């Protein structure tokens, strides 16, 4: 069955890192540029993320995600570059359209910020199996029931999209139009979504009964199927991150005192 | 028997199992909107439906888990917008619990309220993340016009979000209401929060 998660199954040092280390990286990579307040920090972390992604051999997989946000970022650059309040210094003139320095710099900040968030999250998303993530949280104390809910979403959604494809084909073979004017497309929406939704909601009742029969509601402490593996590289990585964070905190305080 | 408060945290198995289905419905709504090229997001139908069925707490959980899953499978920026989804779930849950989603007109009005809540929460996030834009064609066009007319950024961004949210949330609430009405009673009874015992005579 097709999985919807972006996880890439490879055997690299990044894949072997504990999900918590990667979460710590996300926090540090996004907090330090905010603390230090300059673009150099953001760019540095983007570079570090790219390096980590290359070690994990998943760098190419960030392309679709960047494309997704890329379109919005381009419009941000255009709109902020031309129209931002307080635009004063023209930098580029294309015909009758003027791009201003302040707007472009502002757009640059936004773009770097978004790319930094995307890259740091990609490390987590592309190299961690969703079930491992959920298991980490459950070990930390998240209720196993919520853990189940999160894991099951990854299974249920591919089922639902397959059902949707089948139902779309069935309706189209019965003469339903899915292309054309807006009204036509709107009218197509309900006959497509109702069967899928009804189907999945009715199976939730059966799923609830099935789970309860298997002890889902029991208050006994649950045990884990897989063993916990703590590696040296995890500890080194986490220690390095915390060290960099403390250094930048110190740097910020020093800047503030100057 | 007294009616349990709508904030009671008693998450029974039926409520928990509803959440993946609701996230799935959100996902499919989003896919359909994309495939049919509708100018709406339609990614909160499941959250609103779950909130109608099982209350604001489940609605909030639905919204949170929905954005976490989107973050893992589509676009990591969704993690940050989780707050917005949670608030939509809570708002829908409170409205449904108070009986404000009983017919087509009340569903439209509730959709307007939910749109307002969504705009209030999402606009600061939009301003922080994208300088006020939302990624929607029409909304951003309005934003450009507002900014060119020297309106303050919170107004421009708020209008950008509102002009997309109103049709989107009203449509989502209507669709969720339509589905809710058509559900068999043996499903909706699983989620009724009160301990009322129905007698046959």
Q: What domains appear along chain B, each with residue ranges and CATH number?
A: 13-128+167-191 (1.10.1760.20)
Q: How far apart are CA B17 and CA A148, in angstroms?
A: 9
Q: What is the mean pLDDT of chain B?
A: 83
Token reading at A217:
């509601």
Between B56-73 and B82-97, two packed helices, what is the crossing angle to 10 degrees? 150
Ranges of chain A whose pLDDT falls below 70:
1-4, 85-86, 186
Average of pLDDT values for B104-108? Answer: 88
Tell me what pLDDT residue A227 has. Answer: 74
B172 close to B117: Cβ distance less than 8 angstroms? no
- A137 to chain B, any CB pair closer than 8 A? The answer is no
A31 close to A245: Cβ distance less than 8 angstroms? yes
What ipTM was reported for this prediction? 0.74
- B190 to chain A, any CB pair closer than 8 A? The answer is yes
Residues sharing a CB contact under 8 Å with residue A88, sequence separation 6 or more, in sequence order: A100, A101, A102
- Nearest CB to A121; choose among B79, B153, B184: B79
A69 close to B77: Cβ distance less than 8 angstroms? yes
- A85 to chain B, any CB pair closer than 8 A? The answer is yes
Token reading at A19:
């999900």
Tell me what pLDDT residue B113 has. Answer: 92
- Nearest CB to A121; choose among B65, B76, B148: B76
**Hunting for tokens 């789970």 — which residue is that?**
A211
B93 close to B56: Cβ distance less than 8 angstroms? yes
Q: Is the pLDDT of residue B195 over 60?
A: no
Q: Is the pLDDT of residue B2 over 60?
A: no
Interface test with B, best of A197, A203, A211 (most B CBs within 10 A): A197
Distance, C-alpha A46 to centroid of its chain: 16
Portion 140-179 of B in contact with A at CB < 8 A: 140, 143-144, 147-148, 150, 153, 175, 178-179
B18 close to B53: Cβ distance less than 8 angstroms? yes
Token reading at A171:
């309706």
- Nearest CB to A201; choose among B21, B37, B72: B21
Residues sharing a CB contact under 8 Å with residue B59, sequence separation 6 or more, in sequence order: B47, B48, B50, B51, B88, B89, B90, B92, B93
Average of pLDDT values for B180-190? Answer: 75
Tell me what pLDDT residue B63 has. Answer: 92
Portion 152-191 of A in contact with B at CB < 8 A: 152-154, 156-157, 159-161, 164, 178, 182, 185-186, 188-190
* Percent of all residues in chain B with a pLDDT value above 70, rounded to a whole number: 90
Band the pLDDT of B5: cuts 50, 70, 90. Answer: low
Report which of A41, A58, A79 is spatially closest to residue A247, judged by C-alpha positions.
Answer: A41
Average of pLDDT values for B176-198? Answer: 72
Helix count (H) and strand count (E) of chain B?
8, 0
Q: Is the pLDDT of residue B86 over 90?
A: yes
Alpha helix (H) ranges present in B7-136?
13-35, 45-54, 56-73, 82-97, 104-130
Band the pLDDT of B1: cuts 50, 70, 90. Answer: very low
Q: Is the pLDDT of residue B196 over 70?
A: no
- More confidently predicted of A157 and B87: B87
Average of pLDDT values for B29-36? Answer: 78
SS3 A229: coil
pLDDT, tens digit, 9 for 90 and up, residues B45-76: 999 999 988 888 889 999 999 998 888 877 77
Q: How far apart are CA A129 and CA A134, in angstroms?
A: 9
List chain A residues with CB under 8 Å of B136: none
């Amino acid at each position: 069955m097709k999985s919807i998660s972006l996880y890439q199954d490879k055997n690299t040092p990044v894949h072997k890192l504990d999900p918590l280390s990667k979460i710590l990286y996300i926090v540090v990579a996004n907090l330090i540029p905010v603390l230090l307040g300059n673009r150099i920090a953001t760019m540095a972390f983007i570079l570090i993320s790219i390096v980590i992604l290359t070690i994990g051999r998943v760098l190419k997989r960030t392309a679709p995600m960047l494309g997704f946000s890329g379109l919005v970022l381009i419009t941000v650059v255009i709109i902020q570059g031309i129209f931002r309040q307080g635009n004063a210094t023209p930098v580029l003139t294309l015909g009758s359209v003027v791009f201003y320095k302040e707007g472009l710099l502002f757009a640059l900040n936004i773009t770097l910020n978004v790319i930094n968030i995307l890259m740091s999250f990609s490390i987590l998303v592309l190299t961690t199996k969703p079930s491992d993530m959920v298991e980490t949280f459950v070990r930390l104390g998240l209720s196993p029931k919520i853990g189940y809910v999160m894991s099951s979403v990854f299974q249920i959604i591919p089922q639902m999209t397959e059902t949707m494809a089948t139902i779309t084909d069935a309706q189209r073979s019965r003469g339903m139009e899915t292309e054309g004017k807006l009204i036509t497309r709107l009218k197509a929406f309900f006959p497509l979504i109702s069967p899928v939704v009804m189907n999945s909601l009715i199976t939730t009742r059966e799923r609830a009964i099935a789970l309860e029969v298997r002890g889902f509601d029991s208050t006994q402490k649950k045990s884990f199927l897989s063993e916990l593996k703590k590696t040296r590289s995890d500890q080194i990585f986490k220690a390095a991150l915390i060290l960099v964070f403390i250094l930048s905190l110190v740097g910020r305080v020093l800047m503030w005192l100057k | 028997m007294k009616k349990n408060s709508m904030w009671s945290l008693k998450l029974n198995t039926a409520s928990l199992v509803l959440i993946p289905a609701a996230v799935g419905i959100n996902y499919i709504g989003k896919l359909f909107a994309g495939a049919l090229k509708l100018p709406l997001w339609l990614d909160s139908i499941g959250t609103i439906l779950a909130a109608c069925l099982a209350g604001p707490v489940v609605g909030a959980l639905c919204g949170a888990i929905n954005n976490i899953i989107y973050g893992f499978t589509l676009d990591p920026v969704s993690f940050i917008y989780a707050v917005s989804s949670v608030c939509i779930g809570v708002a829908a849950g409170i409205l449904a619990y108070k009986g404000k989603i009983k017919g087509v007109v009340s569903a439209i009005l509730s959709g307007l309220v939910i749109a307002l809540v969504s705009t209030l929460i999402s606009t600061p996030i939009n301003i922080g993340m994208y300088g006020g834009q939302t990624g929607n064609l029409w909304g951003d066009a309005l934003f450009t016009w507002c900014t060119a007319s020297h309106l303050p950024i919170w107004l421009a961004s708020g209008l950008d979000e509102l002009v997309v949210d109103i049709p989107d949330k009203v449509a989502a609430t209507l669709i969720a209401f339509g589905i809710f009405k058509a559900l068999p009673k043996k499903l909706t009874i699983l989620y009724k929060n009160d301990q009322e015992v129905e007698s046959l005579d």
